[in-house]
A = this chain, B = another copy of it.
Amino acid sequence: MITLSSDFGDHYPAAMRGVLLRRTDARLVDVSHDLPRGDIRGSAFWLRFLLPEFPPAVHLVVVDPGVGTDRAAIVLRVGGHALVGPDNGVLIPAARAISPTAVPGTDGPISTTATEEIDAFRIRADEPASQTFHGRDVFAPAAATVQELGVDAAESAPLLEPITELVGYSLPSPESNSDTAHGEVLVVDGFGNVITNVSGDFLAGADTVRVNGDTTPVGSTFGSVPEGKRLVTVGSHGNIECDVNNGRGDEAFTLEAGDPIRIER
């Protein structure tokens, strides 16, 4: 199975599908082609949320604002999965989330030692057909190769070279004490839900909190407040969200991706 993720929107994902299908009969499954464009933080959040839901697979990921520069193309092998994409950090939080020995909630600098159970490889691609579409010309062929060889035998691929250094990336951590969390908006989803980097544990037992100074009810689900009203809840990813029941939290809270957020109980 090969999953496909990108920030391409429409049209270009089909070129990757075609390249894959010329080389493998594997099942193809779309994760998303609307990852936040060129945004490592937001894309890394979604990939960390979504890829661990899948059974072991080859995950082709193209969020690649540095396409055509000298950033490397890599394969990470972890927990029976292979992640194929650019060496710009976007794969790292998902790889750590998949790792059976990773400590949940820790997103520290990546280490490719055995304790993380992550193997890393560089994809040799000296003369790709284009400098602007490595999803088609570099990453998809590499993903098909890993799929056909089997994830466990990836090192037998001549185009893969073991490496020990990667561009690290961690999702930003909040600064919290028992009363106050200083966090950040990671993404706004399509419903307008404002997803922060503050763990839902911070809300335990609270009926209300202040969000950037404004008192807001804490609810276990959207329906715990009337339609159109604001609430703070724990999203399905485990982090605090600022939402509106049947409305847009980003508009009601005037928040967007990257904004700082202060939550007080």
List A residues at the B interface (Cβ < 8 Å). Answer: 1, 3, 8-12, 14-15, 17-19, 21-22, 28-32, 34, 37-38, 46, 49-55, 65-69, 129-133, 136-137, 189-191, 220-224, 233-236, 241, 246
> Are A189 and B11 interface neighbours, CB within 8 A?
yes
Contacts of A234 in B (CB 8 A): 130, 132
Picked from B17, B32, B68, B129, the residue with its CB within 8 Å of the CB of A14 is B32
Picked from B1, B31, B51, B68, the residue with its CB within 8 Å of the CB of A222 is B68
Min C-beta distance of A1 to chain B, whole Å = 7
Min C-beta distance of A131 to chain B, whole Å = 4
What 5 additional pairs, Cβ within 8 angstroms, besides A11-B49, A21-B29, A68-B223? A11-B190, A18-B50, A65-B222, A67-B221, A133-B235
- 19 A-B interface contacts by CB (under 8 A): A11-B34, A11-B46, A11-B189, A12-B189, A14-B29, A17-B29, A17-B54, A21-B54, A38-B246, A65-B223, A65-B246, A67-B223, A69-B221, A69-B223, A129-B236, A131-B220, A132-B236, A133-B236, A136-B236
- Number of identical protomers: 3
> Are A130 and B235 interface neighbours, CB within 8 A?
yes
Given contacts A9-B190, A21-B55, A223-B68, contact A14 B30 (CB under 8 A): yes
Contacts of A236 in B (CB 8 A): 15, 129-130, 132-133, 136-137
> Are B32 and A66 interface neighbours, CB within 8 A?
no
CA distance A15 to B220 in the complex (A): 20
Min C-beta distance of A106 to chain B, whole Å = 21
Contacts of A133 in B (CB 8 A): 235-236
CA distance A254 to B111 in the complex (A): 46
Nearest B residue to A9 by beta-carbon distance? B190
> Are A31 and B53 interface neighbours, CB within 8 A?
no
